[in-house]
Chains A and B, each alone.
Chain A
Amino acid sequence: MTDIIKRPGGAMANRPLHFFWLADCSGSMYGEKIEQLNYAIRNAIKPMQDVAADNPNAQVMVRAIKFSTGAQWHIAAATPVEEFKWDNLTANGVTDMGLALQLAAEQLDVSQMPERCLPPVLVLVSDGQPTDDFNAGLAALMSKPWGKKSVRIGIGIGSDVDLEVLQKFIGNPEVKPLQANNAEDLVKYIRWASTVVLQAASAPASQVKDQVSTGVVPIPQAPTASDIDADDVW
């Protein structure tokens, strides 16, 4: 009697949520910046897995695109978040951000996506300005229904980043790009994008009155940047 299942049925029905990292690996990221990005993403894996495990509404699948001279898949297969591992990126080349968006757009085509999903989440991390046709890439992304419905977050590293480009990518005036001026902020922002935003896209948390409510899903407030420490500024 102890071996029998206690109640019938399966786990609560849920939907896939496709999460994409789009990481700038151009030459300007070489050295500390790319290592800090690698560290920040590795640091966010466990919290991301914890958030996913605590969310019965979503089945989180992770992919990653790296862009420098051209854009390639860093993690090509949609990987269940429980199995998500991060191989370190290296930096070299120009900033073909537009190509990265094209690559994401291909996978967000209706033919490539499951029929029923939660809004995909795209997190773009960059320290500079696109060197290719960013607008064409963005247009390709936005031409796909899943691209249009995606939740897009832009994280800038350092002071040379083109925040206007990131804002265009986000496409929602109420969600601002995040600018990480030190390693600590980057860790915080990457973690926020991979936990709070992930949660918001699938099972929005308690609705605080008057919070940002336009866009695909309400995005809770991002953490505040820490005070700039002279030793920590790039």
Chain B
Amino acid sequence: MSTLLQSEQIIYGDLTQQSYTIDTFLGAGTQGEVYRAHANDKAVAIKWYFPHYIQNDQQLHQRLENAIRKGSPDNNFLWPLELVTQPNNAGFGYVMPLRAANFKSIVDLMRRRAEPSFYALISACLQLSESFLQLHAKGLCYRDINFNNVFFDPDTGDILICDNDNVDVNGATGAINGTPRFMAPELVRGDAPPNTESDLFSLSILLFYMLMLHHPLEGKKEASIRCFDQSAMNRLYGTEPLFIFDPQDSSNAPVVGLHDNALVYWALYPQFLRDVFTRAFTTGIKDQHGRIRENEWRVILINLRDSLFYCRCGGQNFYDADTVKNCWACNKALIYPPRLRINNTVVMLNHDTKLYAHHTDQSQKFNFSTPQAAVNRHPQDPNRWGLQNLSNNAWTITLPDNSVKIVDPQRSVNLAAGISINFGNITAEICV
């Protein structure tokens, strides 16, 4: 139910003088309400602020103007396009792109109403890290990373970041401190205002939630709280924050029956992911300088996605060089597919694995635009698997007997142990 604007009402864009017709109410938050609207035949979203919020947030208008002038950090933000006003109304709002229906909320993920594969989920985490990197690199601070500001496509892992009206230059005074459960401890305690480093803490919380479906600080301490009120939250997230998997202190360990997701997922992921979360919520909890930066998340999340492989039952599992595990879905012993060792990382060569310039070209880290190689089946012998060269350059391969061959574009190399592939400036080895 809307309280601010009515269907068919017309509001006007400040920059384009475009008239927008309100169609339907989409939702409300603490700052205002969001509507679907259209201008000509183009559907957009419009956020219109509550009068009391405008009074509380004196910098809002200026902040939005700045954001509109600067433009979106990348295509994943539902960024303000222009301010909108209405004659004889002191209120205002802004226009942003409309979110497509295939995007689901993080709440849907938490409630299991959206079920991405691990691959799509990790891709969403990766995109999140990349988008926040773009935002922070522009000297901006988001201030309010939480469940409600991020949407994702469960099929592809594409993401959208909304509520960009709190974004401001890092260090600027703002009206929003963040959302409980996501705020960095120093913000919960009131010791510091939001900044890029507190954004990084919130990002780690969101990534942990997405990957583990649990909060990283809710263990025994949470279990011992009867009434989960403001003072309990301040203690758990502000004055006594303790990681549930802190290797030095088990007093906040997850409790079986209450925190099962944390226990299930922690055991499932490879050690390198556990290590980075451990740093995020031990050194990173006390020291702003100890927080995991987006660039590190990108590397870790790509490695995590590359470590995925299928059990025969179809369940996606993670390769962990240090541990042999059974499949989480069928509990049978896992059989590894061939793998490609590229420097210190391992890419599992599944039936559907594709390699990108990120994997094959030292100078193009994080480029996932066009596949450069794909696992394929021999056209005559379905039992033979290969890696097809989808790039424009020939590869040089060295066989175990040290003989050298050329793999031209579109040709494939057998997935056999001991073959090393020189992609140009990167050499990788096939392991079986």
Q: Which residues of B contact A218 (CB under 8 A)?
A: 230
List residues of chain B with CB under 8 Å of any chain A CB: 1, 3, 29-31, 50-53, 56-57, 105, 107, 110-112, 115-118, 121, 144, 146-148, 166, 174-181, 183, 209, 213-214, 218, 223, 225-230, 233, 258-261, 264-265, 268, 313-316, 328-329
Q: A12 at the A/B interface (Cβ < 8 Å)? A: yes
Q: A13 at the A/B interface (Cβ < 8 Å)? A: yes
A9 and B226 contacting across the interface, CB-CB below 8 Å: no
Please give 14 more A-B residue pairs, beta carbons under 8 A apart, in addition to A12-B111, A119-B229, A206-B176. A10-B213, A12-B110, A12-B261, A13-B258, A53-B107, A119-B227, A204-B180, A206-B177, A208-B53, A209-B175, A217-B230, A220-B30, A221-B52, A223-B50
- A205 and B179 in contact (CB under 8 A), knowing A6-B117, A8-B329, A54-B105? yes
B1 and A203 contacting across the interface, CB-CB below 8 Å: no
Q: A33 at the A/B interface (Cβ < 8 Å)? A: no
For the complex, would chain B's binding face be called helix, strand, loop or mixed by DSSP majority? loop
Instruction: Tell me the residues in window 71-120 of chain A with beta carbons closer than 8 Å to chain B beta carbons.
Output: 115-119
A interface residue count range (under 10 / 10 to 19 / 20 to 34 / 35 or more) = 35 or more
- Which 9 residue pairs are nearest across A and B when measured between Cβ atoms? A1-B314, A56-B110, A12-B110, A9-B261, A207-B177, A149-B227, A205-B30, A4-B314, A204-B180
A187's closest neighbor in chain B, by CB? B1
B329 and A10 contacting across the interface, CB-CB below 8 Å: no
B146 and A11 contacting across the interface, CB-CB below 8 Å: no
A-B contact pairs, 19 of them (CB 8 A): A4-B313, A4-B314, A4-B315, A6-B116, A7-B115, A7-B117, A10-B213, A12-B111, A12-B214, A13-B218, A13-B261, A56-B111, A117-B227, A145-B227, A203-B147, A206-B31, A208-B57, A209-B56, A213-B230
- Bound complex: CA of A208 vs CA of B57, how far in Å? 9
A15's closest neighbor in chain B, by CB? B228
- Bound complex: CA of A177 vs CA of B370, how far in Å? 61
Q: Which residues of A contact B259 (CB under 8 A)?
A: 13
Q: Which residues of A contact B233 (CB under 8 A)?
A: 204
A119 and B228 contacting across the interface, CB-CB below 8 Å: yes
CB distance from A61 to the nearest CB of B (A): 15
Tell which of A43, A118, A206, A210 touches B1, judged by Cβ atoms closer than 8 Å.
Answer: A43
Inter-chain CB contacts under 8 Å: number: 140
B177 and A56 contacting across the interface, CB-CB below 8 Å: no
Of the candidates A54, A188, A203, A208, the one having the most CB atoms from chain B within 10 angstroms of its own CB is A208
Q: A129 at the A/B interface (Cβ < 8 Å)? A: no
A209 and B314 contacting across the interface, CB-CB below 8 Å: no
A116 and B228 contacting across the interface, CB-CB below 8 Å: yes
Q: Interface code A47-62, partner B: CB below 8 Å = 1, 0 otherwise?
A: 1000001111100000
CB distance from B160 to the nearest CB of A (A): 16
A205 and B29 contacting across the interface, CB-CB below 8 Å: yes
CB distance from B150 to the nearest CB of A (A): 13
Tell which of A13, A116, A146, A221 touches B214, judged by Cβ atoms closer than 8 Å.
Answer: A13
Q: A216 at the A/B interface (Cβ < 8 Å)? A: yes
Of the candidates B57, B148, B174, B226, the one having the most CB atoms from chain A within 10 angstroms of its own CB is B226
- Bound complex: CA of A210 vs CA of B112, how far in Å? 35
A149's closest neighbor in chain B, by CB? B227
- A6 and B316 in contact (CB under 8 A), knowing A116-B228, A206-B29, A217-B229? yes
- Bound complex: CA of A220 vs CA of B32, how far in Å? 12
- Bound complex: CA of A145 vs CA of B259, how far in Å? 25
B226's closest neighbor in chain A, by CB? A116
Tell which of B179, B264, B313 touches A9, judged by Cβ atoms closer than 8 Å.
Answer: B264
A47 and B110 contacting across the interface, CB-CB below 8 Å: no
- Bound complex: CA of A145 vs CA of B226, how far in Å? 10
- Bound complex: CA of A47 vs CA of B121, how far in Å? 29
Q: Which residues of A contact B57 (CB under 8 A)?
A: 208
Of the candidates A2, A47, A116, the one having the most CB atoms from chain B within 10 angstroms of its own CB is A116
- A4 and B329 in contact (CB under 8 A), knowing A205-B179, A206-B176, A207-B179? yes
A223's closest neighbor in chain B, by CB? B3
CB distance from A13 to the nearest CB of B (A): 6
B261 and A203 contacting across the interface, CB-CB below 8 Å: no
CB distance from B109 to the nearest CB of A (A): 9
Q: Which residues of A contact B56 (CB under 8 A)?
A: 208-210
Q: A230 at the A/B interface (Cβ < 8 Å)? A: no
A210's closest neighbor in chain B, by CB? B56
Instruction: Tell me the residues in window 1-31 of chain A with beta carbons closer than 8 Å to chain B beta carbons.
Output: 1-2, 4-13, 15
A117 and B30 contacting across the interface, CB-CB below 8 Å: no
CB distance from B157 to the nearest CB of A (A): 12
A207 and B178 contacting across the interface, CB-CB below 8 Å: yes
- Bound complex: CA of A163 vs CA of B15, how far in Å? 48
Q: A66 at the A/B interface (Cβ < 8 Å)? A: no
A207 and B227 contacting across the interface, CB-CB below 8 Å: no
